[in-house]
Amino acid sequence: MYRSKFRPACWLKNRHAQTIYPSLAWAHTPWPKLRSENIELRDGDTMVVTWLKELSTNDTSPPTLIVLHGLEGSPNSSYARMLLQAAATRNWRAAVLNFSDCNKYRNRLPRAYHAGTTKFIRFFIEHLRTKADQGPIIAVGYSMGGNILLKYLGEEGISTPLHAAAAISVPLNLHISSKALTQGFSKIYQNYLLIRMKKSVRLKFDQYTTAFDWQRAMKARTFAEFDDAVTAPLHGFSGKDEYYDCCSSRDYLKKIRRPTLIINSLDDPFMTPEIIPVQDQLSDSITLEVSEHGGHVGFISGGTPWRPEYYLPKRITNFLASKITEPRE
């Protein structure tokens, strides 16, 4: 573990301000040109991938960047747009995986997505490998998407086709994160996300035939209550505790065998500092960068309120670019 070089903008040091600001209309995050692709899965389900429209390049096998968004996120999330734009400047291919029931996408089967859903990234990577002109494959996950990515890397170990990865503001221990979001101002984020999650449930499921307790789901006031009522039974867990135990990525870090950058801040309102793993929980392939400030997927480093500067896109792409040319084990 090492201390991050990130320093917050002098006009935006508060952790909640760092977290909220990138989503504001005047935050000047780019709107890259995108296209969508529907992919059929072997089990009869479907997934949607949103691609960055490719730029002209002489490189016949450019790297492909896979982006995993956070809870209730999408390709339109500010962090995803900024990373896609950074990829475009390097002439990389880039795609955002749309998790089930996020944005306007609804999958076919009676399931949603959760913090341990590694099926979709695994399938998509296999899909990419069928393409003849495929260059190195790299991946970045934010928040819950970061948890999924780290869990996948731990499950696959040396077998993953990924060359390198990065995970940002990761709830490495779901028990800790769930509890942190019931404290103080952090309850605002929890309430906002629960409203969106319940809306997705109402759009997808029928209260008279669903496999979970509809009334408990609609009355849930915390993530723990919602996960116990909906997420766990939908995905074969006995309850939220088994779900959190099985899907917390901190337990998979020791098994990661590809160069992986993890960036977390100590003032992240979605978790507490105790979530940061100690050195003997990490594999030698992991670079753990810890910042005093940054909030949750914020990391605004300078500029002005009308033209802010963001730390993450350059830091992430520099790390990945440095690892692409390294030989894999």
Q: What is the pLDDT of residues 255-288, one digit of tens each?
A: 999 999 999 999 999 999 999 999 999 999 999 9
* pLDDT at residue 106 tops 80: no
**Domain range annotation of the chain:** 2-173+248-324, 174-246
Which one from 268, 285, 291, 293 is the annotated catalytic residue? 268
Q: Provide long-range contacts, Cβ within 8 A and 24+ apart, for 50-56.
A: 50/75, 50/95, 50/96, 50/98, 51/93, 51/94, 51/95, 52/84, 52/87, 52/88, 52/93, 52/94, 52/95, 54/93, 55/88, 55/91
CA atoms of 31 and 25, how far apart (whole Å): 12
Chosen CATH of 2-173+248-324 out of 3.40.50.280, 1.20.1260.10, 3.40.50.1820, 3.40.1170.10: 3.40.50.1820
CA atoms of 329 and 156, how far apart (whole Å): 13
Global confidence as pTM:
0.94
Which one from 69, 114, 163, 296 is the annotated catalytic residue? 296
CA atoms of 301 and 308, how far apart (whole Å): 8
Return the pLDDT at 185: 97
Q: Of 303 and 212, which is predicted with more confidence?
A: 303
296 is catalytic: yes
Q: Of 40 and 92, which is predicted with more confidence?
A: 92
Tokens of residue 281, six digits = 């929980």
With b meaning 16 or more CB within 10 Å and e meaning fewer, what string describes 6-23? bebbeebeebbebbbbbe
> pLDDT confidence of 203, banded at 50, 70, 90?
confident
Is residue 329 helix, strand or coil? coil
DSSP letters, 48-92, are EEEEEPPPP-S-SS--EEEEE--TT--TTSHHHHHHHHHHHHTT-
Q: Whole-angstrom distance between the N-terminal and C-terminal Cα of the chain?
A: 23
Q: Of 110 and 92, which is predicted with more confidence?
A: 92
Which one from 143, 178, 248, 285 is the annotated catalytic residue? 143
Helix (H) and strand (E) counts for the chain? 11, 11
Return the pLDDT at 92: 95
**Given the DSSP bridges, would you call strands 307-310 and 64-68 parallel, antiparallel or unpaired?**
unpaired
Q: Of 17 and 60, which is predicted with more confidence?
A: 17
8 A C-beta contact, residue 249 and residue 242: no
In the block, tokens 């529907």 appear at: 38
Mean pLDDT, to the nearest integer, of 148-164? 97
In the block, tokens 């509809």 appear at: 214
The fraction of the chain above a pLDDT of 90, given in percent, is 77
284 is catalytic: no
Q: Which residues lie below 8 Å from residue 245, measured CB to CB, with a gap of 6+?
A: none
Residue 114 half-sphere exposure toward CB, CA atoms < 13 A: 24
241 is catalytic: no
pLDDT (tens digit per residue) in 39-87: 888 877 788 899 998 766 666 689 999 999 999 899 999 999 999 999 9
DSSP letters, 177-238, are HHHHTTSTTHHHHHHHHHHHHHHHHHHH--TTT-SS-HHHHHH--SHHHHIIIIIHHHTT-S
pLDDT (tens digit per residue) in 188-202: 999 999 999 998 888
Considering the chain, what is the average pLDDT of its residues?
Answer: 92
8 A C-beta contact, residue 176 and residue 272: yes
Eight-state DSSP code of residue 257: -
Return the pLDDT at 223: 96
